[in-house]
Amino acid sequence: MKNTQMRYDPDNLQIGDVVFIRIDNFIFNNVATATSSWVNHVGVIVGFKNNQYWVAESTIPFSKITSLSKFISRSKEKSLVIARLKQPLSNEQKKALVRASKTRMNIIYDTGFNFNSRGQFCSRFVYEVIKEAANIEVGAVESFQKLLSKNPEYGLRFWKIWFFGFIPWKRLTVTPASQFKSKQLDLIYDYRYQEVL
């Protein structure tokens, strides 16, 4: 996806649109740096009600649905990217995506970013609901070994601290960075504050 400004049309959003932001705190900023990306949090639009869009997300402490405006308000300088699946979702697939999101509500956040755990984390949540609804894989499910080979100098330092010295090399995960780069998505809106590029 190109790093470019595009016009934001709030009437043009759809169920299944993927929303990327950058939460400005120590942990999430380090996740972004370790994955060589500006983005560190992601959610998916699941509806429009009471004159606003709603985003399903996995966040600390539990997965939930929040308004798009509140979702954006947590982003550094309101930085925001919205992307849409290249393959349009049918009405049935949109309904399936909403159902898949609702079945994953109130699940505790997994700070170990384990794709196969009982918990959830943001990029896994988005990956799973889209996969379940439309059989489309957004992002790369990969081992920590493969992930950290892309940015070993910084990534190893952070993850060693995060995992108390023992990086789970074979553990599978999926990152917001890999979803942002996904060839399954077309960017429809890009506003990233200069400092986070």
For position 120, which CATH number holds?
3.90.1720.10
Looking at the chain, the whole-number percentage of residues with pLDDT higher than 70 is: 92
pLDDT exceeds 80 at position 153: no
| pLDDT of res. 9 | 62
The number of folded domains in the chain is 1
Does the predicted model carry a pTM greater than 0.95? Answer: no
* Separation of alpha carbons 88 and 42, rounded Å: 20
Two tokens, residue 145: 């070994």
Tell me if 74 is assigned to some domain: yes
Tell me if 94 is assigned to some domain: yes
The angle at the Cα of 97, spanning 111 to 106, to the nearest 5 degrees, equals 40
* Separation of alpha carbons 153 and 162, rounded Å: 15
Tell me if 3 is assigned to some domain: no
Task: Report residue 10's pLDDT band, with 50, 70 and 90 as the boundaries.
Answer: low
Tell me if 117 is assigned to some domain: yes
Which is higher by pLDDT, 7 or 146?
Answer: 146
pLDDT exceeds 80 at position 152: no
Tell me if 1 is assigned to some domain: no
| pLDDT of res. 3 | 41
Which is higher by pLDDT, 77 or 118?
Answer: 118
Residues making up the chain, counted from first to last: 197
| CB of 44 closer than 8 Å to CB of 126 | yes
Domain boundaries, position 170: 10-196
| pLDDT of res. 1 | 39
What integer best gives the mean pLDDT of the chain? 90
